Structure 1
Amino acid sequence: MTRPSPWWTPHVHDDRRPFLLLRNRIRSAITRHFEARDFVEVDPCLLQISPGNEAHLHAFATEAIGTDGARQPLYLHTSPEFACKKLLAAGEQRLFSFSHVFRNRERGPLHHPEFTMLEWYRAGEGYETLMDDAAALLALAAETAGQSTLTFGSLSVDPFAEPERLSVADAFLRHAGIDLLATVTEDGETDRDGLAAQMRLSGLRVAEDDRWADLYSRVLVERIEPHLGIGRATILDRYPVSEAALARPAGDDARVAERFEFYACGVELANAFGELTNPEEQRRRFEMEMAEKARVYGETYPIDADFLAALAIMPEASGIALGFERLVMLATGASRIEQVLWAPVAQTEGAA
C-alpha cells in the first residue's frame, strides 16, 4: 500500500508550481550556458549492463526479454558516467547531459529514488576547470531566480562570492584535529588503527568492527560537512585515493586523488574527478568496491567490459556530476526535494 500522494492535489500543486516553473527556467539557462561554450548535449540510455560499481550505491534491477524469450539482466543507471566516457572515447570533446538517474535505499529531504543528474565532461582539460564551472552554475541559478543569497534551512551562501578551496586533509586537521594523511601510505593503503587512535583523542566514537573507510566517513559527516559552504561555496578537494574509485592520483602526492566535491549551504551539490583512464587500475578498483559491497550488503553488480575497453582509448579528461534538483532547491528556497520534482514517486506506507 502506498501513502496518499498530495503533490497532485490542486492546492498543493499551486504552492509548488512557482518552484517548478523556475526549475524549467534554470534548466534552460544552463543549457544555453553550455551551448555557448561549445558543449554538445547528449542523452544516454537509462538501461545499462552495469549501474555503476561503487560499494554504497544501490541500483534498481530489471531485465530485457528477447524475441526468443532469452532474459538479460539490466539495471537503471545510477549515473550516466559510463556512457558519457564512452562518448569521450568515441571522439566527443565537450559534452553535457541532464539524465534521470535511479538510486535505491535513498529517500529524504535531499534524496529521491529518481532524480536528475547534470553531468558534463571536458576532454584534454584539468579538473580545476570544473571548479570554475561549478561556481558559474551556482551564480547562474541565483541570477535566474533573482536571488542575491541562497539558503537551505538556517544556512546561507553568497552565490557570487569566490568559493573557498580546502583539501580534505586540511579540513580534517582544522575541524577534527586529525592528521588524515598520516594514516594513508604512498601506495594508497590505509591505517585503520592509526585513524581510530586520533579519533578517540578528538572525542569521536569508534566501534570495534569499523574499518578505515567507516571511520573516515564518520569524521567527514560529523565534523567536516557541517562547516562547508557557509557564507560562500566550498570546494573540498584532494580526497584520499581509496575514496576516489574513478579519479586519477594527484601528480604531486600519490596518497590523494584529483577529486573534489562542491558544497553550498552545507549541501553537497557536485562531485568531480580528473578521470582515471587506466583500464587495468580501474578494474582493480571496481573489484575492490564490489568485494566491499558483497561484505556489507551481500550483493555485487557486473563490471561493464565495454566501459573498460573504452577507457583504453579515452583521452585525458575531467568530469563532474551535479544534483540538479538540489541546485534548484537552493535557488528557490525549497525545503524538500519533492517540491522541485514535477511528479514525485509515491512512497510505500511505512517506508522511511
Structure 2
Amino acid sequence: MANPTWHPERLAARLPFLTARSRLTAATRAWFAARGYQEVETPCLVPAPGMEVHLRGFSSEYQPHLGQGERRKLWLRTSPELALKRLLVGGAGPVFELARVWRNGEIGSRHAPEFTMLEWYRPGLPLEGLMDEAEALVRQLCPRLVAHEEVTTDLALPFERITCAEAFDRWVGIDLLASIRPDGSGDAAALGARGDESWEEAFFRLLLEHVEPRLGRERGSFLTHWPTPQAALARRDPSDPRVALRFEMFVGGIELANAFDELTDAPEQAARFAHDVAERERLYGTADSWPVDEDFLAALAHGMPPGSGIALGFDRLAMLASGARRVEDVLWMGGFPYA
C-alpha cells in the first residue's frame, strides 16, 4: 500500500515542484499588480456552481442555526466566473482571482477534483488583447522551453492563432461553418456525424482526434472563433454570427486556458442558460443539476461593461513551469489526499 500524501518520503519527492509553485504564485500576483489588476476573493459555496452542461458538481446544504436563514441546497463552485463578472457590474475594474474550485469525477495526470483556477477579467479589453496578455503571462512565468510528455514548446516563438474553421479545414478536411444553421444550432449530418451522434458529440470527437493533438507543440497556440453552438458565455462575432468570440490556449500539448469576449446581453444569456439546464437534466437527471443563476442574470441586465476574461488552469501552469509530470506533484496534499 502506498504511503499517504503527507508521508515525509512522498512530500520530499514533490517538494522541488511545490517550491517552484510557491515562486510561481508570488510571481503571478506581482505580474497582475504591475498591470493594474486587483486581486479579489469570491465565495466558494454558491447556489449555482457554473452553467457548463457537462461539469459535475459537489453539493452541500445550508442548515439554519438559531433561526437564521432557510434550509437550501448549495454547491462548491466549478469556477469563480459568475461571481467575478458580478464585480465587473459593480464597478470593480480589472480583477483576478487564484480560486480554489471543485469538479466532481475529474481525476488523472492533468485533472484533480479540487484544483486552482486563475481567472482574470478586464473591462474594455478585446479578445486579441487578452491573447496578448495570456501569451505574455506564460512567457514571463515559465522557462523558455517547457515540456510535457513527448511535447516541448519554445515560448520564445510567437504563439500561432488559428480559427476553429481553419483548423477543421486543415486537419479534418471539413467545412465546419457549413454545419451551423441560421438559428445557431449545429447540423450533425453536415459535420459527418456517425450513427446517432449529435453535432456536439461529432464536433468534440473530431476536435480531440484531429485538432488538439496538433496544437501547442513547437509553439504555443490559440484556437479561436469557436462555432456558435459552443459559445457558452461568449458573444457572437458581429461579422459572422456562426462563430463566437472565444479561444482556448495550448502549451506543451496541454489545454491551458479558455477565454471569452464576454456576452453582455442578458436575454440571450438567459436563453442559453435555460437550454443548458434542460440539456444537463436530459443527460444526467435532475439530482445532479441546478437551476439558472438568476442573480447573475439580474446583474447582467443591470449592465456589465464590454470586455474579456479568461480561466487558466493554474496547476497545469505549475506543471509546465516546474517540469512536473503529474498534477498531484504540484499539489501540497496530492490529488486525492485522503484516498
* TM-score band, normalised by shorter chain: over 0.9
Distance in 2 of aligned mates of 1:250 and 1:225: 23
Q: Counterpart of 1:40?
A: 38
List alignment gaps of at least 5 residues for structure 1: 200-205
Q: Counterpart of 1:117?
A: 117
Q: Counterpart of 1:203?
A: none
Q: How does 1:49-128 map to 2 (within 5 A)?
A: 49-67=47-65, 68=67, 70-128=70-128
Tell me the CA shift for residue 6 of structure 1: 3.5
Q: Counterpart of 1:31?
A: 29
Q: Counterpart of 2:331?
A: 341
Tell me the CA shift for residue 5 of structure 1: 5.3
Letter in 1 for 2:333: A
Distance in 1 of aligned mates of 2:337 and 2:35: 40
Distance in 2 of aligned mates of 1:346 and 1:188: 40
Distance in 1 of aligned mates of 2:242 and 2:3: 48
Q: Is residue 272 of structure 1 aligned with residue 262 of structure 2?
A: no
> Does the residue aligned with 2:283 lie in a helix, a strand or coil?
helix
Q: Counterpart of 1:21?
A: 19
Structure 1's 210 and 348: CA in aligned 2 closer, same or farther, altered over 3 A? Answer: farther
Q: Counterpart of 2:315?
A: 325
Write the deviation string for residues 90-143 of structure 1: whole angstroms up to 9, x where unpaired.
Answer: 00110000000000011000100000000000111211111011111211221x
2:272 to 285, 307, 328: 285
List alignment gaps of at least 5 residues for structure 2: none
Q: How does 1:199-348 map to 2 (within 5 A)?
A: 206=194, 208-299=195-286, 300-312=289-301, 313-346=303-336
Tell me the CA shift for residue 148 of structure 1: 2.5
> Does the residue aligned with 2:155 lie in a helix, a strand or coil?
coil
Tell me the CA shift for residue 348 of structure 1: 8.1
Distance in 1 of aligned mates of 2:9 and 2:335: 19
Moved more, 4-13 or 71-80: 4-13
Check conservation: 2:130, 2:308, Cα contact below 8 A. Answer: yes
Check conservation: 1:164, 1:235, Cα contact below 8 A. Answer: yes
1:160 to 153, 156, 166: 156
Q: How many pairs are equivalent?
A: 334
Write the deviation string for residues 2-46 of structure 1: whole angstroms up to 9, x where unpaired.
Answer: x85532221221111011011011111111011011100001010
Write the deviation string for residues 181-238 of structure 1: whole angstroms up to 9, x where unpaired.
Answer: 0101233121111112xx6xxxxxx2x2210000000000011000000110000000
Distance in 2 of aligned mates of 1:325 and 1:161: 23
Tell me the CA shift for residue 278 of structure 1: 1.0
Check conservation: 2:236, 2:243, Cα contact below 8 A. Answer: yes
Tell me the CA shift for residue 303 of structure 1: 1.1
Q: Is residue 186 of structure 1 aligned with residue 182 of structure 2?
A: yes
Structure 1's 345 and 228: CA in aligned 2 closer, same or farther, altered over 3 A? Answer: closer
Letter in 2 for 1:328: A
Output the TM-score relative to the length of structure 2. Answer: 0.95
Write the deviation string for residues 156-200 of structure 1: whole angstroms up to 9, x where unpaired.
Answer: 10122210000001101111111110101233121111112xx6x
> Does the residue aligned with 1:8 lie in a helix, a strand or coil?
coil
Write the deviation string for residues 235-261 of structure 1: whole angstroms up to 9, x where unpaired.
Answer: 000001111210000121000001000
Structure 1's 104 and 336: CA in aligned 2 closer, same or farther, altered over 3 A? Answer: same
> Does the residue aligned with 2:232 lie in a helix, a strand or coil?
coil
Check conservation: 2:5, 2:337, Cα contact below 8 A. Answer: no
Distance in 2 of aligned mates of 1:210 and 1:5: 44
Q: Counterpart of 1:177?
A: 173
Stretches of 4+ moved more than 6 A in 1? none
> Does the residue aligned with 2:311 lie in a helix, a strand or coil?
strand
